[in-house]
């Protein structure tokens, strides 16, 4: 919308042909540099995480254990240089939790990026849809009532059902005449989220004291109990949505310019918005069901990436996925090493680390040029 | 590529915004759509680029019902310069112009060298080459219009839709923009407020009032004093432009004694009622 009420005295500029053609992709080196930096960082953090913990394991030992499991027939796996407990700690505990942190971070960041484009609001993050609040209700019900009372449904399944239920509700509430208006979606999500949070809080305050810690631990987010089996669903969701989003990245670019423009450029905005909403909910629900409520990743990572490579989804989405993964892997490493042997819930650290970093980034000149100051 | 509206009506919330409009735009001609605020100009144009579904009637481009074409097919025939631009996300001018390639490209992957050449040429043509790496949100109103026009050129369509393209623009650039848009041999449909701009750049003008087509034809045939009084609620006189020799329409507030006089202030908020 051109809000300028004044008639701008914009002198007609002669079509002065510049002698040098402008550089086509000025940020190419930046993008490739960032991609390789993030990829290297992810490998390093996986190794570092595998080698960090109460049971002493050196980095080479951790690398040996992981390679030994991936490639059969490695000599060091059977010559006694690695103890069984080292092998257990690295392969069965540290690696799955690091991978889960990576998948969760990537999913939440991707969900945030897609949602921000979908509702054309840079302040949106996956949790405003009320999906995580729904997961909270499911999880707390499972903890408070006990798995037996819930017909044998475990904590993760209950959380997923809660998240799925909230998704359906927010979708139905936001839909009117077959169209989902972005503002109605945000309002419905926020209102539903508050309602569900109230239910969660009521259940928490009225349950026995011993349950309160479990509830809080879930609500604040953690990957400490990760197993390989838990990686399957979030990993699948991430792969499916990731491929979809990359394939539709030009249409996503068009949606940034406004609904009317996107329609005129041939994008079916109504169906695109619906699919994106479901994709976001799927990413969030599968992640939250396993990891609990990890906030801030979905808000901060897409913004940081936009400041580095701009808004074009073709450049931005791969970096959002990598950046989200690296950010949450690092946070998890911090969460279990700064206060050893205690663990700090992830949700606390993502905000405690992410907020200052984001505020610093926001005040850099690149961010101002990118319109964050408006 | 010719465009035609056949008995098109649009109802929104029980209100009839466009009422049984039929008109045809021959290939390669420029049609100016005139009328007071709220008369249905934009809504009629929106039915052409599929942003608004008509409640009755058919819109055809090149003889084909646009409802039987998919979004991409329509977007390869019709480019739109409308009154909307995002402020929320950092989009550069080059990226904004590159959006014009969206209907022509598929899948993931970089833009081709041909795409980049097309964008350079379009930005040069509208005099915005020096803005290429600036952020769109930081441009002045006139600069934004230049970039949006470049995007329609990049879209390479035979039909161009302009929705009040000269709003907020200084006089010189109004003339420059209309020249750029109408000199390419495209079929152009443009909603306009300025009758003189319409007379100068349009082969035909259509006058809408309260959703109905009041007249269509050559500007000097349609825009007589009586029609202008009925359509816009202003008095007018036709002069000859002392510099160009073209007809010039000079408007003035309605005189109280004029037939069918009505307070002029109304016409911004409500479509005028029928005059006797």
Cβ neighbours of B142 (radius 10 Å) = 25
The arithmetic mean of pLDDT across residues B49-66, rounded, is 92
Q: Are B36 and B268 in contact (CB under 8 A)?
A: yes
Higher pLDDT, B233 or A367: B233
Query: How many C-beta atoms surround the C-beta of residue A252 within 10 A?
Result: 24
Q: Where are the domains of chain A?
A: 59-65+80-368
Q: Pairing mode, if any, of strands B159-163 and B187-191? A: parallel
pLDDT at residue A152 tops 70: no
Closest CA to A83 of A57, A108, A106: A57
Higher pLDDT, A296 or A239: A239
**pLDDT recorded at residue A243:** 95
Q: Which residues of B touch A122 (CB under 8 A)?
A: 88-89
- Residues B95-130, buried b or exposed e (16+ Cβ, 10 A)? bbbbbbbbbbeeebeebeeebbebbbebbbbbbbbb
Task: Read off φ and ψ for residue B238, nearest 5 degrees.
Answer: -100, 125
Contacts of A21 in chain B (CB under 8 A): 120
* Structure letter (DSSP) for residue B192: -
| Segment B194-210 mean pLDDT | 91
Q: What is the pLDDT of residue A225?
A: 80
Interface of B with A in 61-120 (CB under 8 A): 70-76, 78-80, 82-92, 94-96, 98-100, 102-103, 105, 107-110, 116, 120
Is B138 close to A266, i.e. CB distance below 8 A? no
Measure the CA–CA gap between B210 and B208, rounded to whole angstroms.
Answer: 7
Chain A residues touching B153 at Cβ < 8 A:
none
Report d(CA A335, CA A344) in Å as an integer: 5
Q: What average pLDDT is seen over chain B? A: 86
Q: What band does A131 get if pLDDT is binned at 50, 70 and 90?
A: confident
The domain A59-65+80-368 is classified under which CATH number: 2.60.40.1120, 1.10.3470.10, 3.30.930.10, 1.20.1050.140? 1.10.3470.10
**Least-confidence region, from A91-105, A358-372, B53-67:** A358-372
pLDDT tens-place string over residues B12-51: 888 999 999 999 999 999 999 998 888 999 999 999 999 9
Give A374's contacts in chain B (Cβ within 8 Å): 87, 137
Residue of B nearest to A5 (CA): B168
Q: ipTM of the predicted structure?
A: 0.85
According to the model, what pLDDT value does residue B271 have?
A: 45
pLDDT over 80 at A149, yes or no: no
């Amino acid at each position: 919308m051109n809000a300028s009420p004044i008639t701008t005295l914009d002198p007609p500029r002669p079509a002065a042909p510049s002698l040098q053609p402008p550089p086509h992709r000025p940020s190419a080196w930046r993008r490739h540099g960032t991609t390789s930096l993030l990829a290297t960082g992810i490998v390093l953090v996986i190794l570092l995480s595998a080698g960090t913990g109460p049971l002493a394991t050196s980095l080479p030992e951790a690398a040996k254990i992981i390679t030994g499991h991936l490639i059969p027939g490695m000599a060091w796996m059977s010559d006694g240089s690695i103890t069984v407990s080292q092998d257990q700690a690295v392969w069965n505990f540290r690696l799955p939790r690091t991978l889960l942190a990576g998948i969760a971070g990537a999913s939440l960041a991707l969900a945030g990026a897609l949602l921000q484009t979908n509702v054309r609001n840079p302040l949106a993050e996956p949790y405003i849809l009320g999906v995580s609040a729904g997961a909270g209700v499911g999880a707390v019900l499972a903890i408070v009532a006990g798995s037996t009372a819930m017909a044998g449904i475990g904590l993760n399944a209950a959380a997923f059902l809660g998240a799925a239920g909230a998704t359906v509700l927010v979708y139905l509430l936001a839909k009117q005449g077959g169209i989902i208006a972005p503002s109605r979606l945000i309002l419905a999500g926020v209102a539903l989220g508050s309602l569900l949070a109230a239910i969660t809080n009521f259940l928490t305050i009225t349950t026995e004291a011993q349950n309160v810690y479990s509830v809080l631990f879930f609500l604040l987010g953690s990957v400490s109990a990760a197993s390989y089996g838990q990686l399957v669903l979030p990993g699948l969701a991430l792969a499916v949505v990731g491929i979809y989003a990359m394939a539709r990245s030009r249409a996503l670019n068009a949606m940034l310019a406004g609904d009317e423009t996107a329609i005129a450029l041939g994008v079916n905005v109504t169906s695109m918005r619906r699919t994106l909403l479901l994709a976001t909910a799927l990413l969030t629900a599968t992640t939250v069901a396993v990891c609990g409520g990890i906030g801030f990743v979905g808000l901060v990572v897409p913004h940081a990436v936009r400041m580095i490579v701009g808004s074009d989804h073709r450049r931005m989405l791969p970096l959002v996925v990598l950046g989200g993964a690296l950010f949450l892997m690092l946070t998890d490493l911090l969460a279990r090493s700064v206060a050893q042997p205690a663990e700090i819930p992830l949700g606390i650290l993502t905000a405690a680390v992410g907020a200052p970093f984001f505020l610093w980034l926001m005040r850099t000149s690149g961010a101002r040029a990118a319109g964050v100051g408006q | 590529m010719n465009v035609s509206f056949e008995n098109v009506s649009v109802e929104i919330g029980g209100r009839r915004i466009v009422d049984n409009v039929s008109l045809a735009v021959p290939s390669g001609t420029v049609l100016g759509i005139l009328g007071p605020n709220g008369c249905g100009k934009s809504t009629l144009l929106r039915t052409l680029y599929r942003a608004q579904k008509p409640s009755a009637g058919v819109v055809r481009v090149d003889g084909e019902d646009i409802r039987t074409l998919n979004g991409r097919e329509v977007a390869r025939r019709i480019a739109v310069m409308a009154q909307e631009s995002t402020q929320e996300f950092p989009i550069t001018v080059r990226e904004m112009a590159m959006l014009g390639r969206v209907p022509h490209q598929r899948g993931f992957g970089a833009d081709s060298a041909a795409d980049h050449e097309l964008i350079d040429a379009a930005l040069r043509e509208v005099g915005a080459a020096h803005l290429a790496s600036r952020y769109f949100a930081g441009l002045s109103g006139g600069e934004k219009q230049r970039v949006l026009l470049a995007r329609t050129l990049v879209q390479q369509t035979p039909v161009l839709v302009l929705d009040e393209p000269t709003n907020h623009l200084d006089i010189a650039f109004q003339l420059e923009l209309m020249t750029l848009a109408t000199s390419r041999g495209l079929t152009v449909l443009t909603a306009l407020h300025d009758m003189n701009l319409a007379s100068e750049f349009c082969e035909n003008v259509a006058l809408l009032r309260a959703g109905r087509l009041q007249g269509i034809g050559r500007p000097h045939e349609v825009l007589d004093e009586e029609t202008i009084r009925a359509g816009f609620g202003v008095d007018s006189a036709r002069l000859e432009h002392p510099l160009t020799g073209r007809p010039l329409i000079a408007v003035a507030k309605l005189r109280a004694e004029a037939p069918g006089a009505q307070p002029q202030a109304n016409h911004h908020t409500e479509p005028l009622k029928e005059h006797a």
